Structure 1
Amino acid sequence: MPTIQGARYRLSELLRKAADVTFRPPGGEIHGIGQERLGPKAKRAFIKYSIYSIPYYIKGDPMQCPQINEHTMYWESAEMVRQLNERGYVVDYHHVHSRAPINWELYDLIIDEGGSLINMPENLRAGRTKIFYSSGNYWLFQNTAELKRIGDFHRRHGIFVSPERQAPPNYANEVADYMTYLGTDFQLRLFDRPALKHQLNISAVYEPDYQRRNMAEARTKFVWLGSGGLLLKGLDLVVEAFAQMPELTLYIGGHAERETRFWSWLQPMLAKHPNLKYMGWVDVGSRKFADLAQQCLGTVYLSASEGGGGAVVQLAHFGLIPITTETSTVREGLATVIRSQEPSEIIAQTIKTVRELVALPEADLHARSEAAHAFAREHHTRAAYARSFAALLDRIEQKR
Structure 2
Amino acid sequence: MLLEYLGAYKNKLSNKINGVIHIKTRENKVGSVLLSFITGPFTLTPKERFTDPHTNYWVCPEIARLFLEKGFDVDIINWDNKTFLPKKKYDVCVDLQHNIERLEPVLGDKCKRVMFIISSYPEFQNNAEEKRLNDLFQRRGVRLSFGRKEDYSKNVQFTDFIGGYGNKTVRSSYPDFIKDKIVPIPVPSMDIYDAPKNKDYDKVRKNFLWFGGGGAILKGLDLIVEAFADLPQLNLSLIGPAPFEEEFAKTYEKELSLPNIKRHNRPRINESGVAMIDDIPLEDIISESAFVIGLSASEGGGAATVQAMQLGLIPITTPQTGINEEAPGFVIHEPTLANIKKLILEVSTMYETDLKKLSYDTWNFAHTNHSKKAFTKKFNEFIDQIVNTQ
Task: Note whether the superposition's TM-score is higher than 0.5.
Answer: yes
Give the number of equivalent residue pairs.
374
Deviation at 1:231, TM superposition (A): 1.0
Structure 2 counterparts to residues 1-400 of structure 1, below 5 A:
3-4=7-8, 9-12=13-16, 29-34=19-24, 37=26, 42-56=30-44, 64-67=48-51, 69-103=52-86, 106-121=89-104, 126-192=109-175, 193-194=177-178, 196-212=181-197, 213-256=199-242, 258-271=244-257, 273-283=258-268, 285-286=275-276, 288-334=281-327, 335-340=329-334, 345-400=335-390
| Paired letter, 2:15 | L
Q: Distance in 2 between matches of 1:121 and 1:225?
A: 37
In structure 2, runs of 5+ residues without a counterpart are 269-273
Q: Distance in 1 between matches of 2:107 and 2:58?
A: 31
RMSD of aligned Cα (Å): 2.5
Q: Distance in 1 between matches of 2:87 and 2:361?
A: 46
Find the residue that maps to 2:40 and give its secondary structure.
coil
Q: Distance in 2 between matches of 1:276 and 1:121?
A: 48
Find the residue that maps to 1:12 and give its secondary structure.
helix
CA contact (8 A) 2:79 2:99 kept: no
How has the CA–CA distance of structure 1 residues 365 and 171 changed in structure 2, closer, same or farther, with 3 Å as cutoff?
Answer: same
Find the residue that maps to 2:20 and give its secondary structure.
strand
Deviation at 1:255, TM superposition (A): 2.7
CA contact (8 A) 2:27 2:70 kept: no
- Of the structure 1 ranges 314-323 and 253-262, higher mean CA displacement relative to structure 2 is found in 253-262
1:111-132 CA-to-partner distances (Å, cap 9, x unmatched) read 0114222234569654322111
CA contact (8 A) 1:38 1:90 kept: no
CA contact (8 A) 1:8 1:30 kept: no
Q: Distance in 2 between matches of 1:321 and 1:182?
A: 20
Deviation at 1:85, TM superposition (A): 0.7
TM-score of the pair, normalised by structure 1: 0.86
CA contact (8 A) 1:256 1:280 kept: no
1:55-90 CA-to-partner distances (Å, cap 9, x unmatched) read 23xx6x6x95314x5200110001011111111110
Q: Distance in 1 between matches of 2:11 and 2:259?
A: 55
Deviation at 1:151, TM superposition (A): 1.8
| Paired letter, 1:228 | G
- Of the structure 1 ranges 111-120 and 87-96, higher mean CA displacement relative to structure 2 is found in 111-120
Find the residue that maps to 2:66 and give its secondary structure.
helix
TM-score of the pair, normalised by structure 2: 0.88
Q: Distance in 1 between matches of 2:384 and 2:24?
A: 20
- Of the structure 1 ranges 166-175 and 252-261, higher mean CA displacement relative to structure 2 is found in 252-261
Percent identity of equivalent pairs? 26
1:314-363 CA-to-partner distances (Å, cap 9, x unmatched) read 110111101011111112222422122xxxx5322222222222222111
Deviation at 1:291, TM superposition (A): 2.6
In structure 1, runs of 5+ residues without a counterpart are 14-27
